[in-house]
Amino acid sequence: MACVVRYSFLLISICLRSTTWADAMVQVTTLTGAVGNEIIIQCAIDKTPQDGVYMYKQVASKNKQEVFYYYKDNTFTPKSTMYKSKVHVDGKIPNINATFSNVNTTDIGLYWCEFNLEDKITVSPVTWLWIVEKKYNDTGERKREEEEKEKEKEDKKCPEDPRVKIVLIVCAVMLLLCIPGFIFVILKLKGCWGNKKYRPSNQPSDSVYEEMKRSNLDCPPSVRTFINPDYQSTKLLR
């Protein structure tokens, strides 16, 4: 802000050097606008009648530049091609409004009007026009811009790598394929464990085995048990 004020005083001091303003009391009005918007600069004096009005612009140490001339019969004459479609004038002399459309930083400077009545010149108050970069049009744009900034921060923290996605997909597929195998192995182990735990409810005691062994020793097998019945029938026929 300090540099703006310093710059404005510099411009005013330059303009005061002109012979037209040598004996005039200068009144400066600050007007701030945003890039892309419309700005209205007033040109008015309290002296009538007047034949026409010139609007001038001055930037830094450059010579003053004619913006337009507006005659009392409402004839508008732009003095530069850049202002031909950018500026239009409303009102009646000596009280008019100059509307600048789609302003940008090149429009920054001092503006004033000089009314003429034959050879007499009357200077209007000076307007110090300052144009700033437009940040937000409305709440919606501001919200979208904040969301974009947050998204950029998240992207910087966690950059997306396509290889990471591929690895995750492969791991997921392998996990799905391994689940049936794990289930089968678990069921198999469970069956083997159950077989090991099984025991007959009535196991024969050692005394029973001893008794069976002793009976086999005391009673030799009968001869008939070793004779083949087919062999006996063959022997009888003979």
Tens digits of residue pLDDT in 40-97: 999 999 999 999 999 999 988 788 999 999 999 999 999 988 888 899 999 999 999 9
Rounded distance between C-alpha atoms, residue 157 and residue 166, angstroms? 20
Residue 40, token pair as written in the block: 């209205």
* CATH code where residue 62 lies: 2.60.40.10
Judge whether 96 and 43 are in contact, CB under 8 Å: yes
The reply to whether 117 falls in a domain is: yes
Which residues are 90's β-sheet partners?
97
The reply to whether 121 and 160 lie within a common domain is no
Number of domains in the chain: 2
State the pLDDT at residue 80. 86
3-state class (DSSP) for residue 147: helix
The reply to whether 20 and 126 lie within a common domain is yes
- Residue 8 reports pLDDT greater than 70: no
Tens digits of residue pLDDT in 165-203: 787 888 888 888 888 877 877 877 776 666 655 555 555
The reply to whether 19 and 111 lie within a common domain is yes
Judge whether 115 and 55 are in contact, CB under 8 Å: no
The reply to whether 20 and 98 lie within a common domain is yes
The reply to whether 120 falls in a domain is: yes
The reply to whether 126 and 192 lie within a common domain is no
Assign residue 116 a region (left: φ > 0; alpha: ψ between -120 and 50; beta: otherwise): beta
The reply to whether 126 and 175 lie within a common domain is no
The reply to whether 128 and 175 lie within a common domain is no
Rounded distance between C-alpha atoms, residue 54 and residue 72, angstroms? 11
The reply to whether 137 falls in a domain is: no
The reply to whether 107 and 6 lie within a common domain is yes
Residue 216, token pair as written in the block: 């086999």
Rounded distance between C-alpha atoms, residue 214 and residue 191, angstroms? 40
- Least Cα distance to 11 among 59, 43, 70 occurs for 59
The reply to whether 213 falls in a domain is: no
The secondary structure element, H or E, covering residue 99 is: strand 95-100
Amino acid residing at 214: R
Judge whether 91 and 76 are in contact, CB under 8 Å: no
Full residue range of the structural domain in which residue 174 is found: 153-197
Judge whether 111 and 15 are in contact, CB under 8 Å: no
The reply to whether 73 and 159 lie within a common domain is no
The reply to whether 20 and 125 lie within a common domain is yes
Confidence band, pLDDT 50/70/90 cuts, at residue 99: very high
